[in-house]
Amino acid sequence: MKTFLKLALMLAVGITLLNAKEIDKESGLIVDKGLQTVKTNCTVCHSAKFIILQKGDRETWKSMIRWMQKTQGLWEFTPEIEDEILTYLETNYPPGDIARRPNLKAKDLPN
């Protein structure tokens, strides 16, 4: 194989690995900032599968939380904790095609 092709292939594999999401073995949730907070607050009454199977933007997640707070005995969060949870959820379980890879981060793009 030509050197150029080898390099291109290595780059492609590298980018794929960078984007691969690590999964928390205990809960099955994606490892990201806020995971611990979500595990502490969101896997008490039901398994994390409820979250994994659900998708939504920030508003959708927020309304699910409000619904659980109103009807299912979910406690109130401080604005900081709620922000951390919502950011985690909208980032890792967004609406749309789950097969779609996440956007490249600015730091991973060529200058």
Footprint of ligand HEC on residues 36-75 (CB under 6 A)?
41-42, 44-46, 50-51, 54, 64-65, 68, 72-74
Sign for the pseudo-dihedral over CA of 110, 101, 50, 66: positive
Whose CA is closest to 61, among 80, 22, 89, 97?
A: 89
CA distance 74 to 97: 29
Cα 94 vs. chain centroid, distance in angstroms? 8
Shortest Cβ distance from residue 82 to ligand HEC (Å)? 8
Q: Which is nearer to ligand HEC, 14 or 50 (CB)?
A: 50
Size, binding site for ligand HEC by CB under 6 A: 16
Q: Which is nearer to ligand HEC, 30 or 64 (CB)?
A: 64
CA distance 109 to 77: 36
Q: Which is nearer to ligand HEC, 71 or 111 (CB)?
A: 71
Reduced to 3 states, what is the DSSP secondary structure of residue 103? coil
Shortest Cβ distance from residue 33 to ligand HEC (Å)? 15
* Site of interaction with ligand HEC (CB under 6 A): 41-42, 44-46, 50-51, 54, 64-65, 68, 72-74, 85, 89
